[in-house]
Structure 1
Amino acid sequence: MKTNFALLLWRRLALALLAVLSLSLAAPVMAQSSSLQKIKQTGELRIGVAPGDPWYFRDPNSGQWTGLGVLIGEQLAKSLNVKLVPVETTWGNSVAALQSGQIDIMLVLDATEERKRAIDFPSKPLLWYAQGVLAKDGLVVKNWEDLNKADIRIGVALGTATDRDLTKRLPNAKIERFTNTDETVAAFNAGRVDAIGFYHPALAIAYSKIHKGAVYIPKPAVALPTSAGIRKESDSAFKDLLDVQFDKLYNSGTTESLYTQYLKSKGLDPSKQPGVTREALEK
């Protein structure tokens, strides 16, 4: 009798412990809202912002952030009927900021294979950019072979994708490597190189600062899509919404229009600068 009572007691204790354990394991899952749920609950869309004109630029006087990434973020926030909140980060820390929930989205982030292992990306492209050059006055660049000459000096930022691409693409040219973008632009401004290579939106901003030379996208165009990083989660609602919004902004011409608007704010004539659609870059 005592044995049966003890056995029954142990069974009841085991069931109670199992129930407590199940609740404790389920609690974090139940408490964790999806990205879209959290955005709607808080009424805020938090976008990561990091120095990198024309995507993100902080006015040194007002401290306010602007740039194409911010303008697109405003469109997304409007479609969700929430407030846009810029959260400063760095390009290198953006993945960690998404994983930890510090930001909801990092716009204009390339979907590399390494990043795909840590975060998620919408399937629709946000916009396109191409490998280009800012060439000195008098140096007309229609094709890559126009630069593939021993007497042509081309500046690049050391270790970048542009450095790797142009080193292979232009074996006869003299590739001059500099520590960062600013040093590369300074070398061009001083006449130490004949052209500098970057993706074309960054070259447009460089031109807006020094007003020398012209931006070209040599043929054949090396155009690449960029996207936006978001947190990995089982609920695909936010990702699906972004696919719809990106497609709508792109095909309606809004993305291109926002880029044009930002170029004008930099004192540039958009008609003289390549756009950010695949169709424009591959004409």
Structure 2
Amino acid sequence: MVSRRLVGSAAGLALAMAATAATPASAQAQAAETTFDRIRRTKKLRANAVAGAAPYYHKDLATGQWRGFYIDLLKMLAEELEVELELGETTWGNAVLDLQSNKIDIFFGLNPTPKRALVVDFSVPCFSNAFSFITKRGFAAKTWDELNRPEVKLAVDLGSSQDQVVTRLCPKAQVARFKSADEATIAVQTGRADAQCLVLILALSAKKKNPALGDVIVPTPVFATTSNAGFRREADKTWRDYVNTWIEFNKGLGAVRSAIVTNMELVGISESDFPPGVTL
């Protein structure tokens, strides 16, 4: 005869085992939630911006408010999704890490490189941007070969696409790497570097803000990159595909170009400032 106490203990053990078995499955199901599903469920779109990167991103230090054409695109995207935009701050060098660690859902302004493509996904291009340099006064160079010399000191922001292109195209030059693009610009302004590599829109903006700098040059041959959105790598591509559709749709309507041109004007740049033969 089996005692009621034994039956009760066995039943309790079975329930405990069932609960234990269910917990990992539940956690696994929650962990498997896709980015797109999480955005739809929470009604929040998480993104980061980069201070001092006008006209891409600009933070008003007095009010804490963000402006810039990627801010406009993020707001437009959040409105389309009917969600709230949650905006944090990062650097160009840390943006990929933010995506990998699932701190954010999207980052606008990444140049797709093979190294980055190993760890994150990219959207279709928003626009094209030529690699250029801002120089100290008196420094002249017209070609990449003239920049690729042992006596030339170049400044870049660490981990950026500019860092990668200078590393690849100017192996003979002295390269100083700084935490931010602003620090690299100061190095040029103070004469500690001959030139800073930036994509053209950022170079024109830096020159407008600081007339004491030298020239903006686009060395020949012209090398350009595209500016894209980046995403955390995941098996489900619904989020990436949705943003691709959204970008293409709004490019077709002229909304993306309008956001870019309007915000360039905010920092005193117009398309007439672009060197001959170089366009967005």
TM range (shorter): 0.7 to 0.9
Residue type of the partner of 1:89? T
Q: Which residue of 2 aligns with 1:75?
A: 76
How far apart in 2 are the matches of 1:164 and 1:228?
A: 18
Residue 244 of structure 1: how far off its partner (Å): 0.9
**Given that residues 109 and 228 in structure 1 are in contact (C-alpha distance below 8 angstroms), is that contact kept between their aligned partners in structure 2?**
yes
Q: Which residue of 2 aligns with 1:127?
A: 127
Q: Which residue of 1 aligns with 2:38?
A: 38
**Given that residues 122 and 242 in structure 1 are in contact (C-alpha distance below 8 angstroms), is that contact kept between their aligned partners in structure 2?**
no
**Given that residues 167 and 175 in structure 1 are in contact (C-alpha distance below 8 angstroms), is that contact kept between their aligned partners in structure 2?**
no
**Given that residues 122 and 243 in structure 1 are in contact (C-alpha distance below 8 angstroms), is that contact kept between their aligned partners in structure 2?**
no
Moved more, 98-107 or 200-209: 98-107
Residue type of the partner of 2:245? V
Residue type of the partner of 1:109? L
Task: Structure 1: give runs of 5+ residues left out of the alignment.
Answer: 3-10
Q: Does 1:226 align with 2:227?
A: yes
Residue type of the partner of 2:221? P
Alignment of 1:227-246 (within 5 A): 227-246=228-247
Residue 41 of structure 1: how far off its partner (Å): 2.7
CA, structure 1 residues 193+117, in 2 after alignment: closer, same or farther (shift >3 Å)? closer
Q: Which residue of 1 aligns with 2:205?
A: 205
Q: Which residue of 2 aligns with 1:267?
A: 268
CA, structure 1 residues 35+133, in 2 after alignment: closer, same or farther (shift >3 Å)? same
Say which SS state the counterpart of residue 203 (structure 1) adopts: helix
**Given that residues 264 and 270 in structure 1 are in contact (C-alpha distance below 8 angstroms), is that contact kept between their aligned partners in structure 2?**
no
Residue type of the partner of 1:78? E
Alignment of 1:1-283 (within 5 A): 19-20=18-19, 22-32=21-31, 33-54=33-54, 55-118=56-119, 120-135=120-135, 143-144=143-144, 155-157=154-156, 162=162, 165-166=165-166, 169=169, 177=176, 179=178, 181-189=181-189, 195-211=195-211, 212-273=213-274, 280=279
1:31-59: per-residue Cα shift (whole Å, max 9, x none)? 35422222223322121123250332211
* TM-score, normalisation: structure 2: 0.73
CA, structure 1 residues 179+12, in 2 after alignment: closer, same or farther (shift >3 Å)? closer
Residue 129 of structure 1: how far off its partner (Å): 2.3
Percent of aligned pairs sharing the same letter: 27
**Given that residues 156 and 162 in structure 1 are in contact (C-alpha distance below 8 angstroms), is that contact kept between their aligned partners in structure 2?**
no
Residue 22 of structure 1: how far off its partner (Å): 4.7
Residue 199 of structure 1: how far off its partner (Å): 2.0
Q: Which residue of 2 aligns with 1:7?
A: none
Q: Size of the alignment, in residue pairs?
A: 273
Q: Which residue of 2 aligns with 1:8?
A: none
Say which SS state the counterpart of residue 107 (structure 1) adopts: strand
Moved more, 258-267 or 213-222: 213-222
Task: Structure 2: give runs of 5+ residues left out of the alignment.
Answer: 3-9
Moved more, 59-68 or 31-40: 31-40
Q: Which residue of 1 aligns with 2:5?
A: none
Residue 72 of structure 1: how far off its partner (Å): 1.6
Q: Which residue of 1 aligns with 2:7?
A: none
Say which SS state the counterpart of residue 121 (structure 1) adopts: strand
CA RMSD in angstroms comes to 4.1
How far apart in 1 are the matches of 2:206 and 2:27?
A: 48
Residue type of the partner of 1:25? P
Say which SS state the counterpart of residue 239 (structure 1) adopts: helix
1:67-111: per-residue Cα shift (whole Å, max 9, x none)? 232122112112212222212234454445435543221222344
**Given that residues 215 and 273 in structure 1 are in contact (C-alpha distance below 8 angstroms), is that contact kept between their aligned partners in structure 2?**
no
How far apart in 1 are the matches of 2:99 and 2:61?
A: 26
Residue type of the partner of 1:30? A
CA, structure 1 residues 99+27, in 2 after alignment: closer, same or farther (shift >3 Å)? farther
1:163-183: per-residue Cα shift (whole Å, max 9, x none)? 6645765689x7574746445
* TM-score, normalisation: structure 1: 0.72
Residue type of the partner of 1:82? V
**Given that residues 122 and 240 in structure 1 are in contact (C-alpha distance below 8 angstroms), is that contact kept between their aligned partners in structure 2?**
no
**Given that residues 93 and 158 in structure 2 are in contact (C-alpha distance below 8 angstroms), is that contact kept between their aligned partners in structure 1?**
no
